[in-house]
Each structure stands twice: as C-alpha cells, then as structure tokens.
Amino acid sequence: MTVSYSLEVANARFAGFSRLLFRWKGSIYRLLYKEFLVFCSVYLFFSLFYRFLLTRRQQDLFERIALYCDQFTNTNYIPVLFVLGFYVTLAFNRWWGQYTSFPLPDNLMMVVSGNVHGTDEKGRLLRRTLMRYANLSSVLILRSISTRVHKRFPTLDHIVEAGFMTLEELKKFESLHSDFNKYWMPLTWFSNLASRAREEGRVRDDIALRLLMDELNNYRAKCSLLFHYDWISIPLVYTQVVTIAVYSFFGFCVIGRQFLNPEKGYKDHRLDLYVPVFTLLQFFFYSGWLKVGELIINPFGEDDDDFETNQLIDRNFQVSMLAVDDMYQNLAPMVKDKHWMQRHFSIPYTLSTAAESLRPAFKGSTYDMRLPSPQPPLSSCYVIYMCVCISYLKM
C-alpha cells in the first residue's frame, strides 16, 4: 500500500520532517535493516578476530592490510557518489514516467458520455460496452506487468468472472493467434463498435467519431508505454556497476575502517572507539540510496510504496461506468445562481480563512514598479534614427 504523508507536511513547522523519522511502514529502516545487521555482524567479527584471536605478528599483518584497504575507502578511488547519484536520478525519472503513463479512462469516458447518444437500452449497452473494452485492455496490460494484478487475475477465466469479458469475447480473444501480447484487441473492438455506432446515428457526426478515436489512441498509447517500460529496463550493466561499486566500497570498509591499536601510532588511529559511528552512517546513507533505486526501479511489485494497481483498476471501472450510465443525461434543472442579480460580489470566507480576504490580489511583479522620473514616449521615427546613428558610430 502506498504510504502517504502529505497531510503531515502540508505546513512547514519546527521539526516537521523529524516526525516522519519515527514511522516504520514504508521507511528506510524497514527496507535496510537486514543489510545493516549483516554489515554490523561482519564488522564485529573482524574486530573480535583482530583483538582476541590473532597473535602479535598476525596483528601486525592485519594492521598493514587494514591500512591498505583504508586507502580505497576514499571516494576518489571508487566513485560511489557519482555512480549512485546518477543511477537513482535515472530510476526516479523512470518511476515518475511509469506513473504518468498509467491509463486512466477519465478523458475517454467524458467523450463517450457526451458523444454516444441514446437513452434506450441499446444506447446504454453501447456506452457501457465501450468503457468495458477500455478497462479490459488496461487490466490485460497490468496483468502482464504487475505481480499484484496477476495474483488477482491469474487466468483469463478470472477476468471473465470479474465481468471485464464475456465468454464469447474470450473465445474470440483466444481464437486469434499471435506470438505477442494481445492487450490491444479490446481497443480494436472499441474502434469497430464506435464505427458501428456512427453508422447507426448514435454518434451524430464524424467530428465526434474523430474525437472518440483520438482519445482512444491516447489511452492505447499509455497502455503501450507501460508495456515498453516493463520490457526495456535500465541496462543491466549499469545496475551491476552501481551494486558492485557500493558493495566493494563497504567490503573495503569492513577491514579498512577497523580501529587499530592506538599505541602503535598509526596515522588517524589515535582513539579506539570500538563502534565505527561514521562508517555506519555512511553505510546507512549509501546503501539506503541504493535501496531507494531498487525500490523505485519497478513500482509494479508488492513493496510498501509500489503503485496500488488493484485499487486503480477498481476505481477506473467504477467511475467509467458511473460516467457513461448513471450520469448520462442525468442533469439537475438549470436555475439562476445565487449571484445572478449582483454585479459585484465576493465569495464568503470562513472565520479561519477570513484574513486571506484582506490581502491584495497579485497583479504582476512589475505592477508597483516606480520609475525615477516620467518617461515620455518616443516616436517610431526617432527610435529608427537613433538606431541608425548607433550603428554608424560602431562602424
């Protein structure tokens, strides 16, 4: 389930973001705690191994290895920040692109409701069938890319049972052989049915039919874009490079960031704190960053912050049927509005928002700009003359 905290950050206040640090669901702690415990365990193992199990000669060898590994914990050797930052930015842009590509039927259902006419049973059946085909196409594509939707509709029989498809339509769907995904078939049924509605006069002119086809193509384009997002991932080599960079960096940190015997006078080893606080923070930040990329690279899974695809399917089907059926020509009578006789009127405010009515309206950043002295307008001929003079002087 998507974790929303918009209300909690609606107003900037003292320690506003700090309050979010104590949430568990959808948090970085829940996402990272296993890797964090593994890193702490490995670090503790080498620390105890160095302190209690090695001889003095072996400790000298371990210290030389630790000093050598510490050289590579400098980000100049392993460019973790650059590689990781670019990767997460790329993954975020891809995540947002997938969200904006989600096929919503809102525009299509408005066009169907306003241009496919008929108050009889056939007109109602026509509008509902058109929107059912549109929703069926989105279910088919989401079933192909989302684990949640595939678990909900593991077979086409489940889609039939849910009411998105009839048995006759299932037979036609299965009778058409194709080696590729057939999510586009219901949209083809939509276009053919819309053409038949035009022939029968349910769609009254070619402009309305064109509008239907344009919205249908926009809807189909989003379904296609989702399919290609699922097909074409961020190149595997880049994901591997980022993962190896982060893991190798902290692999060197496990040895190189050990606290060595301060009595031996090694550089930067004057204190023995036992717990590498700043190394643990560095692990938390870098590995957490990598986990963010892992979380958002495919938002159609079952993580806390993945898209609520099943809920979107329910919402889309319900509102599209309401728009083309229950709300078709279901209008309240037209009456004169409350301010019909008032030439100048204001919309009332509640007591908690009354102060906003006292603020002057914004009219532009230069509206109150004051010039040092009145500037008389220049004639066009004078302006042309000045431009010619300036050009002559430059020559």
First to last CA, the chain: 71
CA 190 vs. chain centroid, Å, equals 29
Is the torsion defined by CA of 59, 269, 83, 34 positive or negative?
A: positive
Token pair 């020559």 is found at 395
Q: What are the distances in angstroms from CA 366 to CA 21, 216, 370, 371?
A: 43, 45, 9, 11
Averaged in consecutive runs of 10 residues, what is the pLDDT profile of the chain (395 residues)? 80 85 89 95 95 92 92 80 92 95 95 94 96 97 95 96 96 95 96 96 95 96 96 94 93 93 85 90 94 93 91 96 94 91 87 86 84 64 64 65
Cα–Cα distance between 368 and 6 in angstroms, integer? 36
Minimal CA–CA distance to 135: which of 170, 104, 101?
A: 104
Structure-block tokens of residue 133:
């085909």
Q: Which residues of 27-50 are buried (b: 16+ CB within 10 A; e: fewer)?
A: ebeebbeebbeebeeebeeebeeb
In a 3-state reduction of DSSP, which class is residue 5? Answer: coil
The answer to whether the CB of 368 falls within 8 A of the CB of 361 is no
Count the helix, strand and coil residues of the chain and give each as a percent rounded to the nearest 5: 65, 0, 35
Is the torsion defined by CA of 378, 384, 390, 392 positive or negative?
A: negative
Token pair 């209300």 is found at 7
pLDDT at 384: 64
Minimal CA–CA distance to 27: which of 287, 246, 305?
A: 305
The answer to whether the CB of 223 falls within 8 A of the CB of 103 is yes
Minimal CA–CA distance to 24: which of 3, 9, 51, 39?
A: 3
CA 258 vs. chain centroid, Å, equals 40
pLDDT at 37: 96
pLDDT at 344: 85
In a 3-state reduction of DSSP, which class is residue 209? Answer: helix
